[in-house]
């Protein structure tokens, strides 16, 4: 049971990071059971929202509910736990490398691409505020193609965008965490060699033994 498995995280970790999709349909009532588990954990919790959390248009309410419970919701913002700085944002789709969609042609395409650029700008703003030596980036969408491999290649462009990796590499980080790609790979690197880990729960559950979290040292 999730509650029992998460209870142990307090003994093993200093901070719990959740990389989005805390709900299936973004309904506030879906959040309640998870929130009840989180508040009992008594350790700092940092989250970003995922696309599922936007489904019903209540994303602001979800973020406010978590903030009121003491959970740090990153949305183009930062948080510091002891000597580690965290910068986070949801991110967006758009594709990777030479396959990245550019803002050319119809207004609709430009609007779509603009949403991805806006998320990259939010990450840029957050990372530029970090003053800690150790830096962790939290995203929902993937910044690299390597950690979405295993998904159907036709949907790669909808699993993240290299625009996020460009920002990470420009500012430097010790670790990047993301979710969203349920059937991707757990580990990869940005073009500059920064470690990226896909912590989608489906991948954690596929470990032996199955887990609901993964421990990282920074
Ligand atoms: Fe997602």
Distance between CA 127 and CA 172 in Å, rounded?
Answer: 9
Distance between CA 68 and CA 9 in Å, rounded?
Answer: 22
DSSP 84: E
How far away, in angstroms, is 53 Cα from ligand 1 center?
8
DSSP string, 6-50: HHTHHHH-S-EEE-S--SSS--HHHHHHHHHHHHHH-S-EEE---
How far away, in angstroms, is 140 Cα from ligand 1 center?
7
pLDDT number for residue 6: 84
pLDDT number for residue 159: 98
Distance between CA 61 and CA 35 in Å, rounded?
Answer: 13
How far away, in angstroms, is 182 Cα from ligand 1 center?
8
How would you write the pLDDT of the chain (218 residues) with one tens digit per residue?
Answer: 777 888 889 889 999 999 999 999 999 999 999 999 999 898 999 999 999 999 999 999 999 999 999 999 999 999 999 999 999 999 999 999 999 999 999 999 999 999 999 999 999 999 999 999 999 999 999 999 999 999 999 999 999 999 999 999 999 999 999 999 999 999 999 999 999 999 999 999 998 889 999 999 99
Both tokens of 36, joined, read 């009840």
CB 120 within 8 A of CB 167: yes
How far away, in angstroms, is 166 Cα from ligand 1 center?
21
pLDDT number for residue 156: 96
How far away, in angstroms, is 49 Cα from ligand 1 center?
9
Distance between CA 95 and CA 151 in Å, rounded?
Answer: 13
Interacting residues of 189 by C-beta distance below 8 A, sequence separation 6+:
144, 146, 195, 196
- Tally the C-alpha atoms within 13 A of residue 73's C-alpha that lie toward its C-beta: 20
pTM higher than 0.85 for the full model? Answer: yes
How far away, in angstroms, is 115 Cα from ligand 1 center?
16
Helical segments of 138-217, H only: 162-171, 201-205
pLDDT number for residue 211: 92
How far away, in angstroms, is 63 Cα from ligand 1 center?
16
How far away, in angstroms, is 163 Cα from ligand 1 center?
18
Please, what's the b/e burial string for 122-132 (b: 16 or more CB within 10 A of its CB; e: otherwise)?
bbbebbeebeb
pLDDT number for residue 42: 86
Nearest to 179 by CA among 118, 61, 91: 91
How far away, in angstroms, is 42 Cα from ligand 1 center?
26
How far away, in angstroms, is 178 Cα from ligand 1 center?
10
How far away, in angstroms, is 139 Cα from ligand 1 center?
10
């Amino acid at each position: 049971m999730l509650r029992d498995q998460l209870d142990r995280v307090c003994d093993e970790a200093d901070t719990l990071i959740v990389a989005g999709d805390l709900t299936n349909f973004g309904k506030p009532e879906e959040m309640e059971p998870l929130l009840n588990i989180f508040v009992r954990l008594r350790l700092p919790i940092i989250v970003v929202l995922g696309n599922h959390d936007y489904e019903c248009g209540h994303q602001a309410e979800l973020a406010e509910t978590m903030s009121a419970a003491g959970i740090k919701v990153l949305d183009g913002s930062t948080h510091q736990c002891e000597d580690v700085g965290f910068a986070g944002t949801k991110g967006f789709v758009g594709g990777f490398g030479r396959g990245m969609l550019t803002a050319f042609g119809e207004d609709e395409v430009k609007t779509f691409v603009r949403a991805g650029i806006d998320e990259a700008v939010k990450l840029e703003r957050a990372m530029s505020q970090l003053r800690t030596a150790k830096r962790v980036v939290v995203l929902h969408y993937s910044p690299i193609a390597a950690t979405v491999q295993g998904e159907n290649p036709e949907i790669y462009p909808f699993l993240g965008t290299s625009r996020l990796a460009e920002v990470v590499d420009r500012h430097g980080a010790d670790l990047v965490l993301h979710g969203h790609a349920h059937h991707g790979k757990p580990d990869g690197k940005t073009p500059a060699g920064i470690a990226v880990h896909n912590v989608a729960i489906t991948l954690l559950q596929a470990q032996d033994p199955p887990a609901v979290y993964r421990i990282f040292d920074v």
